[in-house]
Homo-oligomer: A and B are copies of this chain.
Amino acid sequence: MPASNIRIDGERLWSTLMETAQFGATELGGLRRLTLTDEDKQVRDWFRAACTDAGCTVSIDEMGSIFARRSGSDPAAAPILFGSHLDTQPTGGKFDGILGVLAGLEVMRTLNAFGYTTRHPLEAIDWTNEEGSRFAPAMVASGVFGGAFTRDFAWARTDHDGVTLADALARIGYRGDLPCGGRKPAAYFELHIEQGPILEAARETIGVVTGIQGIKWVDMTVTGQASHSGTTPMPVRRDALVGAAQIVAVARSIAERHAPSARATVGRFEVAPNSRNVVPGSVQLTVDIRHPDANVLATMHAALLDEARRAVAPLDIAFETVNDSPPIAFDPICIDAVREAAQRLRLPAREMVSGAGHDAAYLARVCPTGMIFIPCEGGLSHNEIENATFADVAAGAQVLLEAILAADQRLP
């Protein structure tokens, strides 16, 4: 059986998406499946059983991530990994993360059906707590796997009720024995919905993801003087909101100067005292800036601080950069494997940089990594009405399979 003739079963894959959507289903057709809850245990048990039925050996690591392994022909070869996450946002959809995990199962089932044995072992993975909605930070399990966090740091994270991640793992029986990380996979692939509007708008099916944007989060506090809205003449006001509003324009302008890749967002605004007849005395706000190029991102960051300070003068302003995630470039062999698979299948595709973070970001620290995007309806994600088409889901899974098989042939 030549690899080029192997086809995933789109109906079978779609049925697993719909079947597992019962675990944590919401009235609006989405999912509420916070990590390590009873609903998460239900879908984990389902996935483990399905992988076992598909002949895989299932292991659980210390962080609760599930590894379903299918043997290869070369006992010395490191495994090719692929997966994503089964947990969701509090009001999430049926595709974010889940597609990548169930497509991994579909790859296993397809290779079984075609009787194809890879040289490398393969492992389909469900990473624990990608979303970070219950335990911060997000992507903590792949982060430990990739060496960004220690296991003990991750175990000590607590949810809103003070439950530690370690206790939450034990409660549902998913605190495994397999050490998390410390090994060197041959490669990692992740199929995911784009969570943005670009592919849909361009009527393209496949995003060949070349990396993940760098992100900086800057917290700012603009301080003026609260005063009476009726008695304080305009020239003597120190209105913090007038200053803060200009920072919104500054952020927008910086993104536009570094178009088309740059992003800048003021997402939070806390006005004090926030009373209709009081001139605002202070505003706390957050700015999220992103760019795929670390140098451009540094330039944007410097411009943001400088221009924000000048925009609010003579008001006072304080800055704190609370997150600084450098851009990640994926591996050329993995990128090529994805691009060539799309070309071979005559799927309209484009190279793109991921705007969101993914488990692949941490895997890229330890092995060659690639990602595949498919469109989602209206670009909407983290939303119960998140949607993707049957055809795009099947196409994405086929590209995943072919990229894995290409990597299997090319990688040592």
Find out whether the CB atom of A263 lies under 8 angstroms from the CB atom of B195: no
A-B contact pairs, 23 of them (CB 8 A): A194-B231, A217-B277, A227-B379, A227-B380, A228-B355, A228-B381, A229-B267, A230-B356, A230-B357, A234-B262, A241-B248, A241-B266, A241-B267, A245-B245, A265-B278, A265-B279, A266-B280, A267-B275, A267-B276, A267-B279, A268-B271, A269-B283, A276-B286
Shortest beta-carbon contacts, A-B, top 8: A196-B231, A230-B355, A231-B355, A245-B248, A229-B265, A245-B245, A276-B286, A267-B276
Q: Is A389 an interface residue (CB 8 A)?
A: no
A230-282 residues with Cβ-Cβ distance < 8 A to B are 230-236, 239, 241-242, 244-246, 248-249, 252, 255-256, 259-260, 262-271, 274-280
A41 within 8 A of B: no
Q: Which of A211-238 contact B (CB under 8 A)?
A: 213, 215, 217, 227-236
B residues near A229, Cβ cutoff 8 Å? 263, 265, 267, 288, 290, 355
Say yes or no: is A136 at the interface (Cβ < 8 Å to chain B): no
- A347 in the interface, Cβ–Cβ < 8 Å? no
Q: How far is the CA of A29 from the CA of B87 in the complex (A)?
A: 54
A137 contacts the other chain (CB 8 A):
no
Q: Is the CB of B279 within 8 A of A274?
A: no
A314 → B minimal CB distance (Å): 15
CB distance from A133 to the nearest CB of B (A): 11
Known A242-B252, A252-B242, A269-B269; judge A230-B197 contact (CB<8 A). Answer: no
| A309 contacts partner chain B, Cβ-Cβ < 8 Å | no
Let me know if A201 is at the binding interface, CB within 8 A: yes
A residues adjacent to B (C-beta < 8 A): 194-198, 201, 213, 215, 217, 227-236, 239, 241-242, 244-246, 248-249, 252, 255-256, 259-260, 262-271, 274-280, 283, 286, 288, 290, 354-357, 379-382
> Is B249 in contact with A234, judged by CB distance below 8 angstroms?
no
Q: Give Cα A215 to B256, complex, Å.
A: 39
Which residues on the B side are within 8 Å of A236 (C-beta)? 197, 201, 379
Q: Find chain B residues with CB under 8 A from A197 CB.
A: 227, 231-233, 236
Contact A274 B278 (CB under 8 A): no
